[in-house]
């Protein structure tokens, strides 16, 4: 590209700001003193074979994010499975089943356990295999590596070794941590994008040592040898200390020469570098943590339930054992026909205690049906199917990248429905860092008719509210102003239509400005044309961007350090001031002035460039125009610029301030523009001092430069202000708004500077005008002598002051935002400070942490997770987010961006942030309720079934005899009741997906744990206890002495047991039918099919010879079916079992309905269609009160507009009264 060739000729160091003007290390400083621990790494450049033996045997460049490997899979996976209490119990039962005291065969106990554990381990293996495949996609990327004799060849990343010389070309990732040797630019600089590391899309400048600049061609590496001694591997991204010994000289190294793995080379044809750190020694991998083993809160609580049931199992087994001891000691000797004692000693009246102990073991196995072994495998199946639905949700499919949502682990599906706090990265997650120039204020006049989204939404909401009030009756505050408010309505109508009207003008990236007064040269006619000219020149000159010209279209695009700068240049181009060329000392602009149709290329000599920093909050450029006039052009934060205005430069300050406030209220990012004319003598005197300071060495250098910059930037004349709209990723404000309405808290953790993070906070409505900001900074200069204790005390004071401000606030609408930088966060995360910091943070509506390292992101996530005890979700897209993704209860990776590190470490992957709304509010809500109801139902049915065995024990002299045939018991969990409960876990919906989004407050049922709290769990257990009592005793009462067969015979044990089991099947399947809210043919088929399958089994089993062994031959056809009492008992018991639950849910829906009950009734009677007003009213009530999000912002704007209207109507009323009196 032609633009690329132009840039290559420029020595970029000529364009650097004063902050970059450090004397070269080789000339100004000696080598670093790096002796001692922590600085032992030796790298022999271009000699990788030297690192193959100890003590220099460094790790390979192979990386892995898997939980297991070939050797650790079996032990770790088995440990994971037997962390589950139920599995541990059934392992013990399986061991005991091989002994003679077991009431069941060994195979009937071992086979289910092996099946459940094997299936779960297979699922773990499959999910880890997917992680392994993704790892290998990275490990097998190709890199260009020096082989020998100046020749380079391709090598996979995983084969790269320490000491290798690597050539990286434009838009490629760095395969390891490299020392920059040279680049395609003659002064050895290159541009690097570190989005995967620190979240910033702004390009960073890296510069090689002058000593290695000559290594700029493949052939020059034929004889290249050097030695690097540097720090050992560590996670600090922004520091590096080392020395390079080359050509018998030693040169100090610093971070400006280091290229980190997973950064990307930009705007540079190629670079050469030598590998210093590989694989898990690289800084990005040092910031990663091992893949944790995560378990959901529901699963942890399920373990507690199993502990309770196990305790209950031991208790009833103990009761059974005591009963058996009593029977053995006192009754067995009289029962001569039993021939006791037996040879095994299990029934010995002479030693009843030992017999009782044997019976205790038998009872522990016999009553094992209280603890459902199939629960785990059923949950595994359900979670896999739920994950399949998540993966195939077309509403979470990104068509641009062709990327679907991906549940990388299904263990945490229900956790998605219990999230309390979301911790989000910014760049690449919330934003795409694209700005649109929307409005401006020049010479006190506002330009730009386009409306921001906040303006548009506020007016539409007011119109909607007005419509509602007209139906319900107009309040006095509105009624007074209905007349005479035409002007206001016209203004509001303008706001609405400015965006809604058809506009066939093609969209222009970075420019969404509409105002004919400034376009197409019309600004010549404006009264302040000279001020407008200065405004456009500041836009086109005050920057550090590089132009690139498209060879086909001839249109210039710009590589700028910030998106704001890029949008200003696009705006200047559209206004007729096109920045087209840059040399070492000049900027060239094609100006359509004085004639718009005949552009003139003008040269402006660049004398000095004072760059933007987070401390300065402004940027200035000093240029000489073609007339020889020296101008200082400045742009920056309005508060900073206004403080530096001269007394005669404040002409437009009042009107500009008003415009800036208006722009801020509608979420636009603003900067003020000013200028100053400099006399020759004034400039040269200042420049002499500035150059001295710039070339000085020592700690005072930066302070001197800042003082001199501040001196020249005084006495400015205000020109105007800009307002740009930050281009968030599609749907981000709406998503944040919906999540806020769902009651979720959102924290932003970003590597960006504070100003950028604050602006993004405004753009995505985490911050808004009127929100009180608590900004915590350490306020400590690098050269200051403050001790660590002093800094900590200062931060504790800031925390205390912030908490006090919140406590004393009386306004119910007041909202607070906490903004903290990385340095301050270091102290805030210390053990004696962190809980106070957390208490302040949780009382704020939004929290933004700026300039945080990956490690700090993980520590903040851990603090929120452990400090609040609630579920946290971390979402990010880069390697810098891996730590917090792994630390959070749920990690979500953005897969639509470059670099897959975040996805590889995540539990769920989505293509864009906006899909998080659907993942949580719909899938999370459904999965939580499904799993919670499924587990409660599982315990209910197993208690209902298992306790009937215990009751029969008491009737059978605690003999260990079961009332049921073994085959019945084996099929109960595996076939007869398993599929309905799986259908409940997969298909159940309390409300459909659209209603979930319309009523986001429904989501709070998960964080509040309404469906899996102890009240509901014990309620289901009590229901199971009641059902077991009804099934057993009602059947015993009916069949105890009642004639059963035509001959008058009573029912035997097998007949009674089969009737009881039939009642169990009917009762539990009717119960699950009553539990379900959403039916498809699948649920009907599985629920009623399970009942039918029981009768089919009885029919088939009764015809088999196997049935003769237990006196069950033709049990259905000849014994049960002909007996009317069998059918009557089944019907009576089933109704009796389910009547209390039916009464309970009827009472609840009538007198104490839950949110979803109300919605279900509205939908059932189609009131949402017949009465739209009522439906909208219910929707407006069904959102959590929130102080963040687009809706909160619109509400604040509405309050403001209504306040203005109220004032206007009040003053209008007073005028009317005065007129009447006159």
β partners of residue 724? 437, 669
β partners of residue 183? 271
Instruction: Tell me the C-alpha distance between 987 and 388, whole Å.
Output: 12
Contact between 578 and 556 (Cβ < 8 Å): yes
Distances (CA, A) of 865 to 578, 869, 870, 885, 908: 51, 6, 6, 12, 18
Sign of torsion over alpha carbons 523, 529, 530, 536 = negative
Token reading at 756:
């950028």
Instruction: Tell me the C-alpha distance between 919 and 247, whole Å.
Output: 59
Instruction: Tell me the C-alpha distance between 770 and 515, whole Å.
Output: 29
What are the backbone angles phi and psi of residue 413, rounded to the nearest 5°?
-55, -50
Instruction: Tell me the C-alpha distance between 639 and 669, whole Å.
Output: 14
Instruction: Tell me the C-alpha distance between 1069 and 1060, whole Å.
Output: 14
Token reading at 875:
């979402």
β partners of residue 820? 776, 849
Annotated catalytic residues are 425
β partners of residue 152? 146
Burial bucket for residue 1089 (CB in 10 Å: 0-12, 13-18, 19+): middle
Contact between 670 and 660 (Cβ < 8 Å): yes
Token reading at 246:
């080359």
Least Cα distance to 66 among 380, 235, 290 occurs for 290
Residues whose CB falls within 8 Å of the CB of residue 974, separated by 6 or more in sequence, listed in order: 112, 374
Residue with tokens 């792994």: 886
Q: How far apart are the first and last CA of the chain?
A: 78
Least Cα distance to 448 among 535, 534, 530 occurs for 535
Instruction: Tell me the C-alpha distance between 324 and 329, whole Å.
Output: 8
β partners of residue 441? 446, 721
Residue with tokens 């069998």: 1126
What are the backbone angles phi and psi of residue 680, rounded to the nearest 5°?
-55, -50
Contact between 514 and 450 (Cβ < 8 Å): yes
Contact between 933 and 913 (Cβ < 8 Å): no
List b or e across 626-660, with b for residues whose CB sees 16 or more CB atoms inside 10 angstroms.
eeeebbbbbbbbbeebbebbeeebeebbeebbebb
Residues whose CB falls within 8 Å of the CB of residue 20, separated by 6 or more in sequence, listed in order: 13, 205, 611
* Concatenated DSSP letters of 809-864: ---TT--EEEEEEHHHHHHHTSTTTHHHHHHHHHTSSEEEEES--HHHHHHHHHHH
Which DSSP letter does residue 173 get?
Answer: B
272 sits in which H/E element: strand 270-277
Cis check: omega of the bond before 918, within 30 degrees of 0 = no
Contact between 127 and 110 (Cβ < 8 Å): no
Contact between 271 and 218 (Cβ < 8 Å): no
Burial bucket for residue 465 (CB in 10 Å: 0-12, 13-18, 19+): middle
**Helix, strand or coil, per DSSP, at residue 716:** strand
């Amino acid at each position: 590209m032609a633009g690329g060739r132009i840039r290559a000729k420029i020595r970029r160091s000529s364009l650097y700001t004063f902050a970059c003007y450090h004397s070269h290390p080789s000339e100004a400083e000696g080598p670093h003193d790096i002796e001692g621990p922590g600085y032992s790494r030796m790298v022999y450049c271009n000699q990788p074979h030297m690192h193959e033996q100890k003590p220099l045997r460094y790790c390979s460049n192979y990386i892995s994010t898997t939980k297991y490997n070939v050797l650790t899979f079996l032990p770790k996976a088995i440990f994971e499975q037997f962390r589950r209490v139920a599995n541990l119990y059934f392992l013990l039962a399986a061991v005991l089943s091989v002994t003679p005291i077991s009431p069941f065969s060994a195979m009937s106990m071992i086979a289910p356990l092996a099946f459940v554990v094997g299936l779960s381990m297979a699922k773990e293996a499959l999910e880890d295999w997917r992680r392994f495949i993704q790892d290998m996609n990275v490990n097998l990327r190709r890199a260009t590596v020096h082989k020998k004799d100046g020749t380079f060849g391709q090598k996979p990343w995983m084969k790269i070794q320490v000491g290798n010389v690597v050539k990286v070309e434009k838009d490629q990732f760095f395969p390891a941590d490299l020392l920059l040797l040279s680049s395609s630019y003659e002064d050895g600089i290159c541009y690097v994008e570190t989005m995967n590391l620190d979240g910033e899309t702004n390009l960073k400048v890296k510069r090689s040592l002058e000593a290695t600049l000559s290594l700029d061609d493949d052939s020059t590496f034929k004889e290249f040898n050097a030695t690097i001694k540097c720090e050992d591997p560590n996670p600090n991204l922004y520091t590096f200390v080392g020395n390079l010994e080359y050509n018998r000289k030693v040169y100090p190294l610093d971070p400006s020469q280091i290229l980190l793995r997973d950064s990307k080379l930009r705007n540079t044809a190629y670079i050469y570098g030598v590998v210093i750190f590989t694989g898990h020694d690289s800084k990005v991998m040092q910031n990663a943590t091992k893949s944790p083993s995560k378990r959901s809160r529901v699963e942890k609580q399920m373990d507690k339930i199993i502990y309770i049931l196990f305790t209950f199992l031991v208790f009833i087994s103990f009761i059974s054992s005591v009963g058996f001891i009593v029977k053995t000691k006192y009754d067995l000797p009289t029962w001569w026909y039993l021939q006791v004692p037996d040879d095994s000693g299990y029934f010995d009246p002479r030693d009843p205690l030992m017999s009782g102990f044997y019976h205790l073991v038998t009872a522990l196995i016999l009553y094992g049906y209280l603890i459902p072994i199939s629960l785990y495998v059923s949950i595994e199946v359900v979670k896999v199917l739920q994950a399949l639905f998540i993966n195939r949700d077309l509403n979470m499919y990104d068509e641009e990248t062709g990327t679907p949502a991906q549940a990388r682990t299904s263990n945490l599906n229900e956790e998605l429905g219990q999230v309390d706090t979301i911790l989000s990265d910014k760049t690449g997650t919330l934003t795409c860092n694209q700005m649109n120039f929307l409005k401006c204020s020049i010479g006190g006049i506002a330009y730009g008719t386009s409306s921001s989204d906040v303006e548009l939404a506020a007016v539409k909401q007011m119109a909607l509210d007005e419509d509602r009030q007209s139906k319900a009756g107009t309040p006095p505050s509105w009624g007074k102003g209905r007349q005479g408010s035409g002007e206001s309505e016209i203004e509001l109508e303008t706001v609405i239509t400015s965006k809604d009207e058809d506009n066939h003008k093609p969209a222009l990236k970075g420019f969404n400005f509409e105002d004919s007064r400034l376009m197409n040269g019309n600004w010549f006619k404006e009264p302040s044309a000279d001020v407008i000219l200065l405004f456009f020149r500041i836009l086109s000159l005050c920057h550090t961007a590089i132009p690139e010209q498209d060879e086909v279209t001839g249109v210039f695009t710009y590589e700028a350090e910030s998106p704001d700068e890029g949008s200003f240049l696009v705006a200047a181009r559209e206004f007729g001031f096109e920045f087209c060329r840059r040399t070492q000392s000049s900027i060239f602009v094609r100006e359509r002035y004085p004639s718009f149709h005949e552009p003139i290329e003008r040269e402006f000599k660049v004398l000095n460039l004072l760059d933007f920093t987070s401390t300065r909050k402004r940027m200035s450029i000093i240029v000489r125009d073609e007339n020889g006039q020296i101008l200082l052009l400045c742009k920056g934060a309005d508060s900073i610029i206004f403080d530096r205005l001269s007394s005669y430069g404040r002409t437009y300050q009042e009107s500009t301030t008003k415009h800036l406030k208006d722009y801020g209220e509608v979420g636009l990012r603003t900067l003020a523009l000013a200028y100053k004319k400099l006399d020759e003598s004034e400039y040269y005197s200042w420049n002499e001092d500035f150059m001295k300071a710039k070339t000085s060495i020592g700690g005072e250098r930066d302070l001197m430069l800042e003082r001199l910059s501040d001196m020249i930037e005084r006495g400015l004349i205000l020109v105007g202000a800009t307002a740009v709209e930050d281009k968030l990723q599609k749907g981000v404000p709406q998503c944040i708004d919906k999540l806020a309405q769902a009651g979720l808290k959102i924290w932003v953790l970003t590597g960006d500077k504070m100003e950028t993070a604050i602006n993004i906070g405004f753009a995505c409505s985490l911050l808004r005008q009127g929100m009180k900001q608590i900004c915590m900074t350490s306020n400590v200069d690098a050269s200051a002598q403050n001790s660590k204790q002093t800094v900590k005390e200062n931060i504790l004071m800031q925390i205390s002051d912030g908490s006090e401000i919140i406590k004393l606030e009386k306004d119910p609408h007041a909202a607070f935002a906490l903004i903290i930088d990385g340095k301050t966060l270091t102290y805030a995360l210390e053990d004696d400070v962190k809980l106070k910091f957390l208490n302040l943070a949780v009382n704020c509506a939004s929290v933004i942490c700026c300039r945080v390292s990956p490690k700090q992101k993980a520590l903040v996530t851990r603090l929120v997770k452990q400090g609040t005890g609630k579920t946290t979700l971390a979402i990010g897209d880069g390697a810098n987010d891996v730590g917090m993704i792994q630390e959070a209860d749920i990690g979500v990776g953005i897969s639509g961006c470059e670099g897959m590190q975040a996805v590889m470490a995540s539990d769920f992957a989505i293509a864009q942030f906006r899909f998080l709304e659907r993942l949580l509010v719909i899938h999370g809500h459904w999965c939580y309720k499904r799993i919670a109801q499924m587990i409660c139902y599982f315990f209910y049915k197993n208690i209902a079934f298992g306790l009937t065995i215990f009751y029969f024990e008491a009737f059978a002299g605690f003999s260990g005899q079961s009332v049921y045939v073994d085959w019945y018991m084996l099929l109960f969990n595996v076939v007869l009741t398993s599929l309905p409960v799986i259908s409940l876990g997969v298909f159940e919906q309390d409300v459909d997906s659209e209603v979930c989004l319309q009523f986001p407050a429904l989501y709070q049922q998960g964080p509040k744990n309404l469906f899996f709290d102890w009240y509901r769990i014990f309620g289901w257990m009590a229901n199971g206890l009641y059902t077991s009592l009804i099934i057993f005793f009602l059947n015993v009462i009916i069949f105890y002495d009642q004639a059963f067969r035509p001959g008058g015979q009573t029912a035997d044990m097998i007949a009674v047991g089969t009737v009881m089991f039939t009642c169990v099947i009917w009762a539990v399947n009717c119960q699950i039918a009553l539990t379900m809210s959403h039916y498809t043919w699948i649920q009907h088929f599985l629920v009623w099919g399970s009942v039918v399958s029981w009768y089919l089994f009885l029919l088939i089993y009764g015809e088999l010879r196997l049935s003769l062994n237990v006196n069950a031959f033709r049990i259905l056809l000849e014994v049960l079916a002909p007996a009317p009492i069998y059918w009557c008992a089944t019907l009576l018991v089933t109704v009796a079992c389910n009547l209390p639950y039916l009464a309970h849910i009827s009472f609840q829906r009538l007198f104490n309905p839950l949110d979803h009950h109300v919605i279900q009734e509205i939908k059932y009677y189609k009131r949402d269609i017949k009465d739209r007003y009522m439906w909208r009213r219910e929707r407006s009530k069904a959102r959590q009160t929130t102080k963040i999000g687009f809706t909160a912002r619109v509400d604040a704007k509405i309050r403001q507009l209504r306040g203005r209207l109220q004032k206007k109507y009040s003053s209008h009323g007073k005028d009317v009264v005065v007129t009447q009196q006159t």
